[in-house]
Structure formats: C-alpha cells, structure tokens
Structure 1
Amino acid sequence: MNRLNLNVSDETSRLRAVILGTAASNGPVPAVEDAYDPKSRKYILAGEYPTNEDMMEEMAAVNAVLEKYNVKVYRPKHIEDCNQIFARDIGFVIDNTFVKANILPDREEEIEAIQYVIDQINPDQVIRPPEEVHIEGGDVMLHGDYIFVGTYRGEDYADYIIARTNVEAIDWLKETFPNKKVVSFNLRKDNLDPYNNALHLDCCFQPVGKNKCIIHKNGFLQEEEYQYLVDFFGKENCFEITQEEMYAMNSNIFSIAPDVVISEKNFTRLNTWLRGQGITVEEVPYAEISKQEGLLRCSTLPLIRD
C-alpha cells in the first residue's frame, strides 16, 4: 500500500491532496435545541435550513475546481443521516503529523468515516490529544514556523457549545510541536448571535497569497491580539472584512496555491481585492452551506501541500 506522505506547513502552498467533506446524507433538519451554532439556529427557526440537494451541488462545484488543478481528493465514507460536510473539524495536519481532533462526542463517527485515509498514513505520524484537550481544525492555522490558534479563555468556557478549543489545547500544541511558535487568540463567542460569534479562528482570520491575510477585528476579544496579526502581516497586506462579511464567512475561503483560491461567488469586494493582488479566484456557489456557520476552509482537510 502506498503511504501518504503528509506535508502541510502553511495555508497557501500548492495543494496536492485533500479530504473534502460530503453532503450526501445530512439527515433531517435539526431541532433548534440541537443546533451546534447560532447561524444554523437562525436558519432552522426561519425555516430556511439548507437542503441536501443544494449542498451536494455546492460541494460538487468545489470538487470540480480541485480536480481541475489535479488535486487528489478523498471523500468521507457515507454515513446515513450524518452531517459530514465540515472535514476540517475532525482532524488536521501539522507538517507530517495527522492530529485526530477531540470534537463534540456525537460527531465521533465522522472520524471513522475517514479512517480509510488515516490507515494510509504511517501510524507513528497519527496522534490524538488527551481527553481534556479540546481542539478543532478550524482553530488551527499554520504559517511556517508559527501555529496560530483560536481559543476561548473565559471561565464560562463550558457554557459555550461554540467554544471548541480550550486553553489546555494551547499547552498541548506547545509540548507536541516544540519547534513551532504557538500564538493563541481569544475569540468572541455568542451562542445566539451569529454576527458576534467567531466559531473558529478561520471565521475571522486567514492567511492568503504569500504574505497577506483576511481579518475581522470584532472576532477578537483582545484588541492587542488582533493588532499582533495586523503588525505581523503589515496593515497594507490585511484585508479587513465587515461584520456582515464575517457573518457571510468571507475569511473562510480556501487556497489551492499562493496564487489560486476557491471563494464564494457572492464575495464581490473580497474577490475583487484578491484579483487585484494577482490571485486567481475560482468562484463557487456556497451560500447554502454557509448557513451552518462554515464555508470552504471548514469543509476541506489538506493532507499534502508542496
């Protein structure tokens, strides 16, 4: 069996292999009390929760773009009536190590659905943090020697179903990847208001191109932590998105290469800016999937970048 030689050290290098989620059998519309995030809750209440058919079409468009760029695409095995769209939550790669995420317990079977991919990785390079470490891939952002991590440091962490990465995870990353500089960011959480909730770090920040980033100031609870990123990339290299754009998930696009991104077709202002930076923008429809407070980065799990 050919082993998968994992390699991911940043968000934008040329993509060679990825796991793309699936919307084949999302199951019935969840009850309001079962919503994992305020945006899903809003659309459940409005009777506008996305349909399987619409979401399958949107994911097929992404798959087509990935194939156009000769990226090897793996899909999760089919689980009936299970939301398997957001592959990023269940695992992530740091350099050549696959980390199985400790996610909400009732999502455990989602990891089983990609086990056939994990089986192709050298077992020495597959790790899982201890139980007290909560961490999801949407909060983990690689940038060369740096790992940027979204967290929530509040005493009321347990009260927030949308707080997915705890402070124990920061310590664990520092111990497990001592060669990396781990920088954490305290994110704004709100169980009920999707306009004031950064579910993951990639809901309010993401590097793009070679030295640029997309960022939303209000996603950060501490202004100095937001300022750290602005200074790190340089103000002229930061595309500041509005609250409305954050809500629409503008920071959750996905890079195939430093000069190629997949973005939502309605992100007019962002896509114009990206093209102005010399980046090719492959536009896809993804507005239905975004109703679940996730977009393109959330539904992809990169395995190999150059």
Structure 2
Amino acid sequence: MLLEVGSNIMKFYEYLLRRTDGRVKDYPLMQSPVQMTLILLGYLFFVLYAGPRLMANRKPFQLTSAMIIYNFSMVVLNAFIVYEFMMSGWATTYTWRCDICDYSDSPEALRMVRVAWLFYFSKFIELMDTVFFVLRKKHSQITFLHIFHHSFMPWTWWWGVTLAPGGMGSFHAMVNAAVHVIMYFYYGLSAAGPRFQKFLWWKKYMTAIQLIQFVLVSVHVSQYYFMKKCDYQVPLFIHLIWIYGTFFFVLFSNFWIQAYVRGKRLPKPVSHQNGVKAECPVAANSKHLENGTLAHGNGSTQNGKVKEV
C-alpha cells in the first residue's frame, strides 16, 4: 500500500517536471516546490509558535517607520506589477476572453513570465504583514483567514508560474495587484499616525473595491464555462480561481452587511494618542478585512478598553 502511494507520488512529481515551463527554471524559488513549501512552513511555525513565545515577555515593538516604508514600497511594487501585466498582454494582445498561455520565447511572452514570477514572489514579501502583527503583539489580527490567505496564495501560485505563466489565469493576479496598490496606500497612511486619520475617510470604500475585485475575477473566469471551446492549457486553475473568488465575495459581502448596512462600523471619537483626541474610524468590537483576511480595525475595543492597532 505504502509502496503504491509512494510510486504514484513519484509519477506525479515526474509529470510535473515534464510539464514545468523551462523559461522559469532559473528564477529564484522555482527549481522545485520544496523550497517555497519550507519557507511557508517556517512562516507558520513563526506565526503560530515561535513568534508568540518570543514576544510573550517582551513589550510590543512600535515599528512605525518600518511599516510606513514597507507599505509604500508595496504600493510601488504592486503598481509596477499591474503595469507589467498590462504591457505583457492584457493591454496589448489579449482578448479578455479565452486567452491561452503563450509558451514561446517572444519578448511579450517572456515579459509575462517575468511579471507572473514577480507577482508570485511578492506574496512572500507580504508575509511581513503577519510578522509585523506578531512583533507588535496584535494577536487579534492573526486570524485563520489571514494565515490561510498569506500561505495559500504563494503556494498555489508556484504551480501557476510553473505550469501556466500567463493567459486568462493571470487576470486575477493583475486585479489583485491593482487592489493592493490602494490597500497598501491606505495602510501606509494609517501607520503614519492619528494626524492622517482625516485622510482615511474612504476606508469604507476599500471593502467595495474588494467586492468589485471578486466580481470581476469571478465573472471573467466564468466565461470559460459558457464558451463553445477554450483551449486554456490548465483548466484546473480556472476552477480554483472561480472557487476562490466566489468564496471571498461571500465573505466580504457578509462583512459589508454587518459593518455598514447594520451600522456596526460607525466612527467614534474614542481614541487617544499622546494626549490628543483622534477620531476612531472603526466602531467598538468591529472587524474589517485586510488583504483578504479578517482583522480588527484601527480602533477596536476589548473588555471595554480602547485598543489601537
């Protein structure tokens, strides 16, 4: 029994090696799935065990300057990724319908490979989101959905870059990067302190933008099911993208109803920093979704006390 299972695993691994796009073999973290899997396991170990133990008897780090630099750097990186996706197909030769992956060595195809890998690599950089939470002892923000999102995305995108770097399966990556430009810009301003709270009145609309993201992704990929013929090379990715987009649309819709329709997310002038009263943009005991994950907002209460996050 074990020998048979082992044999099937080796056959599947050999199949993947045969299917691997030769153009990405020399990129970092693309030689095998072992490297990126070990990194993600290390991430989980730090977030769930080592990090909390390390910080147990320490005061939380402030990390204000680091977070500002990090967030605005991510704005620039994601803006560049969007531009490269557009220039490597989506604004040039793609039809926005059944666009198959181009496995040639044309300049545009190679450009798509590079930006697909860059998007994949950016997901490892985004693991710093959780590292900041741990070092700042913001344990309420480290939810199952946060960890799932940050570990699942880079793991699945290794297979995407390996088997089909481009085509209609890359649309959701371009949209996701565009949304992250807006989100990290918000986080950068938020990290800068209370004096920037007046510029964050559009927080509510970030959720709307995220909902639009999932609608666009799901609608675009759903075309596959209604076409008479589409020769996209890895249909499994189409199914996974549709499931992922639909799942998060339902999640964000529920959040929108709870937070804005039922009025559980109204501004309250309850936070104080350095003796200065600041408008708190999030109601007590409310939660919001960051980077596709559940997290407490910039001003939440626990046990009747205001907690800045």
Same fold, judged at TM 0.5 (above)? no
Look at both structures and tell me which one has the larger radius of gyration over its CA atoms.
2
- Identify, as 1 or 2, the structure richer in strand: 1
Higher relative helix content: 2
TM-score, with structure 1 as normaliser: 0.23
Where relative contact order (Cα < 8 A, 6+ residues apart) is larger, the structure is: 1
